[in-house]
Amino acid sequence: MADESWSVPTPVQEVAAGVVEPPSQFVLQEQDRPGSQLATDMPELIPMIDLSRLTGDNEAAKLQSALQSWGLFLITNHGIEESLMDAVMGASRDFFHQPLEEKQKYNVVLSKDQTLDWHDRLFIRVDPEDERNLAFWPKHPESFRDILHEYASKTKTISRKILRAMARVLELDEDYFISQIGGDKAPALARFNYYPPCPRPELVFGARPHSDGGALTILLVANGVGGLQVQRDGIWYAVPSKPHTLVVNLADSMEIMNNGIFKSPVHRVVTNSEQERLSLAMFYGVQGHKMLEPAAGLLDEKRPARYRKIKAFDYIVGLREHFSKGKRFIETLKI
């Protein structure tokens, strides 16, 4: 977490204005740069899941294939109006284009010693609703709070549909994963991301390679601007971005609970020199006191547990410590 004894960093949006080279705190070591690890097109299309048909065998099979092959998929017919998606991205753009002193109230950085990613972010806790702290919800633009509340309600419904479908595919009770993450008390965070154009995109990351720590993540990207890439078998692939289509990826806690049948993908974001990129990631996590461990219904003599059990809170602590060092905490739990 940020050390309160040192000053809040200047938002990247301000840094980017007028520079011809990224400042040194953003520039990666040569072997770590995106330019040395270029992404390629996917060998097969990431499945597009029709959420309205997810209870059917065909969409369930596509879901299973996507999670086994990539750990992520696209969803359509998700029930969120295009007007609402445009509104939440519009509110995000309005927030990030506010004066510097307003945005700095919400700036966070993990460590003053680490190389910084080329982005600005706004984190907001949205679930459980009775634990929301509106002091951390921007007042400007005026519509921000109402729009986020409505959007978060819709994506929560989507997350539950997906968790139930995953449980059915694995022949578990369909509410198994929802119960394991904490039901209505499970935490959820909204993270608004702003990636300004970068004069030398080959030298920086918008977001360095990582996997998410919770159960699953639902991502919306404004105007279909690309940049998200996923790693499989050591190779980076560009994830297609389509307007009003959501990207869903599995996260580490769910990989542990399904005993590695479905993988939590390592992914990253690269920048570009021409246009800004705005996205909103909804992170659906696990209550801190819950124990993360492989589901008993997935274990037998031929399929032993692949991960040691750990309390969800302790997992997030380990995740943050390892992330700052460029490592994955989940690897330390493998048996």
Is residue 171 in a domain?
A: yes
Does some domain include residue 17?
no
Q: Which amino acid type is present at position 154?
A: K
Can you say how many angstroms the Cα of residue 191 is from the centroid of all Cα atoms in its chain? Answer: 8
Q: What is the pLDDT of residue 114?
A: 59
> What's the domain count of the chain?
1
Structural domain containing residue 123: 24-333
Q: Tokens 């589901």, residue?
A: 295
- Within-domain flag for 3: no
Lowest mean pLDDT among 32-36, 123-127, 260-264: 32-36
pLDDT score, position 107: 58
Predicted confidence at residue 1, as pLDDT, reads 36
Q: Which of 206, 209, 210 is nearest to 195 (CA)?
A: 206
User: Which amino acid, 112?
Assistant: K
Sheet containing strand 246-250, strands side by side: 48-50, 72-76, 246-250, 216-221, 277-284, 188-195, 120-127
5 within some domain:
no
Identify the pLDDT of residue 106.
65
Distance of alpha carbon 312 from alpha carbon 184, whole angstroms: 16
pLDDT at 17: 80
Q: Is the pLDDT of residue 319 over 60?
A: yes
Contact 126, 188 (CB under 8 A): yes
Question: In this structure, which amino acid lies at residue 102?
Answer: E
Q: How distant, in Å, are the alpha carbons of 33, 52, 166, 174 from that of 55?
A: 42, 8, 10, 11
- Residue 214 inside a domain? The answer is yes
CA distance 138 to 270: 27
Q: Is 50 exceeded by the pLDDT of residue 273? A: yes
Kindly report the CATH number assigned to the domain that includes residue 132.
Answer: 2.60.120.330
How would you classify the pairing of strands 291-292 and 246-250? unpaired
Residue 140 placed within a domain: yes
Each residue's pLDDT tens digit, 203-233: 999 999 999 999 999 999 998 899 999 999 9
Q: Out of 113-117, 173-177, 192-196, 209-213, which region has the weakest mean confidence (pLDDT)?
A: 113-117
Strand, coil or helix: 316 = helix
Domain-embedded: residue 13: no
pTM as predicted: 0.92
Are the C-beta atoms of residues 210 and 266 closer than 8 Å to each other? yes
Residue 210 lies in a domain: yes
The answer to whether the Cα torsion of 141, 145, 150, 151 is positive or negative is positive
Long-range pairs for 312-321: beta carbons < 8 A, 24 or more residues apart:
312/253, 312/285, 312/286, 312/287, 312/288, 313/288, 313/289, 315/213, 315/252, 315/253, 316/213, 316/285, 316/288, 319/213, 319/252, 320/1, 320/110
HEC string of 118-179 equals: CCEEEEEEEECHHHCCHHHCCCCCCCHHHHHHHHHHHHHHHHHHHHHHHHHHCCCCCCHHHH
What tens digit of pLDDT does each residue of 34-58 get?
Answer: 866 778 888 888 889 999 999 999 9
- Measured from the Cβ of residue 234, the count of other Cβ atoms closer than 10 Å reads 7
Q: How confident is the model at residue 2 (pLDDT cuts 50, 70, 90)?
A: very low
Q: Would the pLDDT of 200 be above 80?
A: yes
